[in-house]
Amino acid sequence: MTTQPTPAEGTCGRCQQRRVVHPAKPNWGHVPKLLCTSCWQRYDEARANDDYVDWNDAFDNASDEEIVAHLATAKD
Ligand SMILES: [Zn+2]
């Protein structure tokens, strides 16, 4: 059994769709406070891989070194 509270409906802070939303994890950094299930999972997966979901996320949360490294790998 999970101990999560009953999901609430709201507007996802990333895709702006009105859906069941979940609070973002504090250790994700500067991200929308409420995320729909698919966006929440994208952040969860990205952080599990020390990655970012998109450029906005990277600019908000990555260090300069990480952005440079991301650019370097994106060129390949
Ligand atoms: Zn969403």
Q: What is the SS3 assignment for 24?
A: coil
- Give Dmax (Cα) for the chain: 44
Output the tens digit of pLDDT for each of the chain's 76 residues: 666 666 689 999 999 999 999 999 999 999 999 999 999 999 999 999 999 999 899 999 999 998 888 778 765 5
CA–CA separation, 76 and 72 (whole Å): 7
Q: Is this structure's pTM higher than 0.85?
A: no
Distance 48 CA to ligand 1 centre (A): 18
User: How far, in Å, from the CA of 52 to the mean position of ligand 1?
Assistant: 15
Report every protein residue that has its C-beta within 5 angstroms of ion ligand 1: 12, 14-15, 36, 39
